[in-house]
Structure 1
Amino acid sequence: MRLFPRRALLTGASLATASALALGATAPALATVNDDGSKTVTVAAFTDLHGHLERVPNLAYQIEQIKAENPGDTIVASNGDSVGGSAYISSVQKDEPTIEALNAMGVQVSSAGNHEFDKGYKEDMAVGARLNTESNFPYLAANLTGADPEAIPPYTIIDTDSGVKVGFIGTAPISSPKDIAVDSFTNQGLAVTDPVAAVDKYAAQLKDGDESNGEADVVIALVHDDADIAAKVGENVDAAVGGHSHRKAELTTASGAPVFQPASFGKLLGRFDITVAADGKVGVKASMSEVADIEQTPDAPTNRQAMDIYSKAAAYAEKTNKTLAEIEGKALTARSSGAESTAVNMIADGFLAWGKDQKQGADLGYQNAGGTRADLDPNQDGKITVVESGTVQPFGNTLGTVEITGAQLVGLVEAQFGTDDSGKPRVKNAGFSRNLSYTYNPTSPEGSKVMDVRLDGKPVDPKSTYTVATTSYLLSSVFGEGKNRIDSTEVDLDAFNAWLQKVSPYKADQGQRGIGFTSSADSFKAGDKVEISLSSLSMTADEDKPTEAIMFDEKGNELGRGPVDNTLDGNETGKATFTITIPNYTEAGSYVYTIKAGATTGYVVLAFDQSAVAPGTGNGTEEAPADGAGQGDSDDTSAPGDTEGVPAPAGGRGQDVSGSATSRGSRVSALPRTGAESLGVAGVAFAMVAAGGVLVARRRADRA
Structure 2
Amino acid sequence: MKLGRRTMAGRRPGVVIAVVIALAATAFIVPRASATNPGIGLFPGTDASDTRTVTIADITDFHGHVERGEDNASAYALAEAHNPGAMVKVSAGDLVGGSPYESAFEQDRPTLDMARAWGLTISAMGNHELDRGVKDFNDRIADPANGIDWLCANVSAANKSPNGKLSRVKDYVIRKVNGKRIAFVGALTDALGAVATPQITRDADLTEDAVHAINRVADRLRDGSEANGEADAVVALLHADASAAEGTKRGEAIDGNVDLVYTGHSHAIKRGRTAAGAPVIEAGSFGRQMAVQDLVITGSGRHAKVEVRDVDLGNGMTQTANAKGVYDLKGLVEGWNGAHVGQAAWQSAGADDAAPIVRRTDDIYAAAADRADRVGSRVVGTIAKGSYFGKVASRGTESALGMLVADAERDAVRRAFYAGDRIPVIGFSNDGSLRTDNLDLNGDGKISLREVDSMMALQFKVAKRVLTGRQLKAVLAQQWRGKAGRLVVSRLGVSSNVSYRYTTDGKAPLVPGESVEDAGSVSIVDLKIDGRPIDDDDLVIAASNSFLLQGGDRYTAFRAGTDYRELDKGYGQALVDYLSRHPKVGFSAPVTGTVLV
* SS state at 2:143 partner: helix
Name the residue aligned to 2:177.
160
Shift of the alpha carbon at 1:276? 2.2
Shift of the alpha carbon at 1:136? 0.5
Shift in alpha-carbon separation, 1:119–1:600, aligned structure 2, 3 A: closer
Q: Distance in 2 between matches of 1:308 and 1:198?
A: 40
* Length-normalised TM-score, structure 2: 0.72
* SS state at 2:186 partner: strand
Name the residue aligned to 1:177.
193
Deviates more, 1:319-328 or 1:53-62: 319-328
1:499 aligns with one of 561, 575, 578: 578
Name the residue aligned to 2:408.
350
Asked whether the equivalents of residues 226 and 245 of structure 1 are also in contact (C-alpha less than 8 Å), the reply is: yes
Q: Distance in 1 between matches of 2:177 and 2:189?
A: 28
Asked whether the equivalents of residues 74 and 332 of structure 2 are also in contact (C-alpha less than 8 Å), the reply is: no
Shift in alpha-carbon separation, 1:234–1:507, aligned structure 2, 3 A: farther
Name the residue aligned to 2:388.
330
User: In the TM superposition, what whole-angstrom CA distance separates every residue of 1:398-454 from its partner, at most 9, and x where no partner exists?
Assistant: 31211112333333234445589x9999876543334355646433669x5323354
**Where does 1:432-581 land on structure 2 (aligned, <5 Å)?**
432-434=494-496, 435=498, 439=502, 441=510, 442-443=515-516, 448-452=520-524, 454-456=527-529, 461-478=535-552, 479-508=558-587
* SS state at 1:197 partner: helix
* SS state at 1:165 partner: strand
Q: Distance in 2 between matches of 1:67 and 1:189?
A: 35
User: In the TM superposition, what whole-angstrom CA distance separates every residue of 1:110-167 from its partner, at most 9, and x where no partner exists?
Assistant: 1111122222223331xx5553333212111111124225511111111112x22221
**Where does 1:14-93 land on structure 2 (aligned, <5 Å)?**
38-93=51-106
Asked whether the equivalents of residues 486 and 516 of structure 2 are also in contact (C-alpha less than 8 Å), the reply is: no
Shift in alpha-carbon separation, 1:273–1:360, aligned structure 2, 3 A: same
User: In the TM superposition, what whole-angstrom CA distance separates every residue of 1:554-599 from its partner, at most 9, and x where no partner exists?
Assistant: xxxxxxxxxxxxxxxxxxxxxxxxxxxxxxxxxxxxxxxxxxxxx6
Amino acid of the residue matched to residue 460 of structure 2? N
Asked whether the equivalents of residues 443 and 449 of structure 1 are also in contact (C-alpha less than 8 Å), the reply is: no
Name the residue aligned to 2:327.
289
Asked whether the equivalents of residues 54 and 293 of structure 1 are also in contact (C-alpha less than 8 Å), the reply is: no
Q: Distance in 2 between matches of 1:603 and 1:130?
A: 46
* SS state at 1:67 partner: helix
Alignment of 1:97 onto 2:110: yes
User: Is the helix fraction higher in 1 or 2?
Assistant: 2
Q: Distance in 2 between matches of 1:111 and 1:281?
A: 25
Q: Distance in 2 between matches of 1:408 and 1:298?
A: 58
Q: Distance in 2 between matches of 1:419 and 1:306?
A: 46
Amino acid of the residue matched to residue 505 of structure 1? K
Alignment of 1:305 onto 2:360: yes
Asked whether the equivalents of residues 405 and 463 of structure 1 are also in contact (C-alpha less than 8 Å), the reply is: yes
Shift of the alpha carbon at 1:247? 2.7
Deviates more, 1:311-320 or 1:143-152: 143-152
Shift of the alpha carbon at 1:263? 2.3
Shift in alpha-carbon separation, 1:412–1:212, aligned structure 2, 3 A: farther
Shift in alpha-carbon separation, 1:292–1:210, aligned structure 2, 3 A: same
- Where does the alignment leave 5 or more consecutive residues of structure 1 unmatched? 13-32, 512-598, 607-704
Amino acid of the residue matched to residue 154 of structure 1? D
Alignment of 1:261 onto 2:282: yes
Shift of the alpha carbon at 1:69? 0.8
Q: Distance in 1 between matches of 2:333 and 2:563?
A: 46
Q: Distance in 2 between matches of 1:427 and 1:235?
A: 41
* SS state at 1:389 partner: helix
Q: Distance in 1 between matches of 2:297 and 2:592?
A: 61
1:2 aligns with one of 6, 30, 36: 36
Asked whether the equivalents of residues 157 and 168 of structure 1 are also in contact (C-alpha less than 8 Å), the reply is: yes
Amino acid of the residue matched to residue 443 of structure 1? V
Name the residue aligned to 1:142.
153
Shift of the alpha carbon at 1:250? 2.5
Q: Distance in 2 between matches of 1:423 and 1:262?
A: 32
Name the residue aligned to 2:258.
237
Amino acid of the residue matched to residue 451 of structure 1? S
Shift of the alpha carbon at 1:371? 1.9
1:431 aligns with one of 493, 497, 500: 493
Name the residue aligned to 1:398.
461
Q: Distance in 2 between matches of 1:171 and 1:348?
A: 35
* Length-normalised TM-score, structure 1: 0.62
Alignment of 1:318 onto 2:331: no
Asked whether the equivalents of residues 5 and 137 of structure 1 are also in contact (C-alpha less than 8 Å), the reply is: no
Q: Distance in 1 between matches of 2:221 and 2:326?
A: 27
Q: Distance in 1 between matches of 2:396 and 2:62?
A: 20
Shift in alpha-carbon separation, 1:239–1:405, aligned structure 2, 3 A: farther
Amino acid of the residue matched to residue 522 of structure 2? V
Highest relative contact order (Cα 8 Å, sep 6+), 1 or 2? 2
Name the residue aligned to 1:694.
none
Q: Distance in 2 between matches of 1:425 and 1:238?
A: 40
* SS state at 1:72 partner: coil
Asked whether the equivalents of residues 36 and 231 of structure 2 are also in contact (C-alpha less than 8 Å), the reply is: no
Q: Distance in 2 between matches of 1:298 and 1:366?
A: 47
Shift in alpha-carbon separation, 1:292–1:399, aligned structure 2, 3 A: same
Deviates more, 1:143-152 or 1:313-322: 143-152
Q: Distance in 2 between matches of 1:235 and 1:416?
A: 42
- Where does the alignment leave 5 or more consecutive residues of structure 2 unmatched? 1-34, 162-166, 248-253, 311-323, 341-354, 505-509, 553-557
Name the residue aligned to 1:123.
136
Alignment of 1:246 onto 2:308: no
* SS state at 1:144 partner: coil
Q: Distance in 1 between matches of 2:336 and 2:273?
A: 36
Shift in alpha-carbon separation, 1:502–1:425, aligned structure 2, 3 A: same
Q: Distance in 1 between matches of 2:390 and 2:58?
A: 29
Shift of the alpha carbon at 1:248? 2.7
Shift of the alpha carbon at 1:62? 0.9
Asked whether the equivalents of residues 5 and 138 of structure 1 are also in contact (C-alpha less than 8 Å), the reply is: no
* SS state at 1:41 partner: strand
2:220 aligns with one of 205, 212, 218: 205
Asked whether the equivalents of residues 413 and 450 of structure 1 are also in contact (C-alpha less than 8 Å), the reply is: no
Asked whether the equivalents of residues 36 and 221 of structure 2 are also in contact (C-alpha less than 8 Å), the reply is: no
Name the residue aligned to 1:272.
293
- Alignment coverage as a number of residue pairs: 489
Asked whether the equivalents of residues 176 and 192 of structure 1 are also in contact (C-alpha less than 8 Å), the reply is: no
Amino acid of the residue matched to residue 326 of structure 1? T
Shift in alpha-carbon separation, 1:257–1:226, aligned structure 2, 3 A: same
Deviates more, 1:62-71 or 1:232-241: 232-241
Shift of the alpha carbon at 1:334? 6.1
Shift of the alpha carbon at 1:228? 1.5
* SS state at 2:290 partner: strand
Q: Distance in 1 between matches of 2:257 and 2:485?
A: 24
Asked whether the equivalents of residues 114 and 172 of structure 1 are also in contact (C-alpha less than 8 Å), the reply is: yes
Shift in alpha-carbon separation, 1:130–1:281, aligned structure 2, 3 A: closer
Shift of the alpha carbon at 1:296? 12
Name the residue aligned to 1:632.
none
Shift in alpha-carbon separation, 1:419–1:84, aligned structure 2, 3 A: farther
Q: Distance in 2 between matches of 1:379 and 1:72?
A: 44
* SS state at 1:506 partner: coil
Name the residue aligned to 1:222.
237
* SS state at 1:191 partner: coil
Name the residue aligned to 2:8.
none
